Amino acid sequence: MSAAKLQSRRLATLCGLGAILLWALLALFTANTESFPPFQLTAMTFAIAFLAALLKWLISGPNVLTLARLPIAVWALGVCGLFGYHAFYFLALKNAPAAEASLIAYLWPLLIILFSTLLPTEKLHWYHVAGGVISLAGAALLISGGKGFHIEASYAFGYGAAILCAFIWSGYSVLSRRFADVPTDVIGLFCGVTALLGLLVHLVIEETVWPQSLIQWLAVLALGLGPVGAAFFLWDRGMKHGDIQLLGVLSYLSPLLSTIILVALGIAALSTSLVVGCLLITLGAIVGSFQSILSIIKKPPGI
């Protein structure tokens, strides 16, 4: 790989990491929006992301009509990825205990590592799989609070929806590489369609609840600009041009950082399971980054 291509790959990987860091803020922002119906919140936040993208297009391009002229496969992948994931995640939380549903849904980073081997330029490495499994164990401790998980047949529908979540997001992420030539700006259009679909579902099955304070409005705005906005643009760049397997492993940093933020702000309590979970995720990230760390040791940046 040429030096220019290697530099571009590293920059794209950093973009993907930026998305992971933004997703770490989800729990903090959603703590102030828990009273909102999920599809209403989806519509509001994705609408903000679309409007931000639209403002960017008006200022510096590209032409929206040119972006819209995409193959059906690209539209299907983008809309199913963004809206499909959120829709099934809400179904999972509604029909199964939150801890179990969240952990099952959070299989997607490990699935990204495995599915990436189907791409012509990727190979499965032991350290990616090992790092993903170790980090998943750490995520399980964080999500369960050390209380363990209890799988019951009565929640089969919710578990099934959570599994679909994991497959939808990992499938969307990996398949994005097949459309690497499609500009990342198109994510703005997918956000717009997702907002419309969220609004339609909201009007059919939910009752509207408007923010009652400035803090709630700011939380919605922050979600739309950050974890539900910029993050998807950064993730698209990372999946299309970055180290997809390394990003799969590093995705488990999101629940780690999210937990640290909540503890620091006094929203969550420090516990043994939390500390062990954080250590496992950190260890998994180090193991998964084995090759990258080795390359830096052998040839430090700038030399």
Torsion over CA of 259, 263, 269 and 271, rounded to 10 degrees?
60
Highest-scoring range by mean pLDDT, 123-137, 150-164, 230-244, 284-298: 230-244
> Cβ neighbours of residue 289 under 8 Å, at least 6 residues apart?
131, 246, 249, 250
pLDDT at 27 over 50: yes
- Report the alpha-carbon distance of residue 259 to residue 252 in Å, rounded: 12
Look at phi and psi of residue 122 and say left if phi exceeds 0, alpha if psi is from -120 to 50, else beta.
beta
Encode burial over 236-261: b for 16+ CB neighbours within 10 A, e otherwise.
bbbbbbbbbbbbbbbbbbbbbbbbee
Q: Please state the domain extents for the chain.
A: 3-298
Is the model more confident about 40 or about 6?
Answer: 40
Local structure of residue 211 (DSSP, 8 states): -
For position 302, what pLDDT does the model report?
Answer: 47
22 pLDDT above the threshold of 80: yes
Closest of 24, 42, 38, 110 to residue 82, by C-alpha: 42
For the cut 70, the answer to whether the pLDDT of residue 73 exceeds it is yes
Of 74, 99, 101, whose CA–CA distance to 90 is shortest? 101
Q: 12 Cβ partners below 8 Å, 6+ apart?
A: 237, 238, 240, 241, 242
Task: Kindly indicate the confidence band of residue 191, based on its pLDDT and cuts at 50, 70 and 90.
Answer: very high
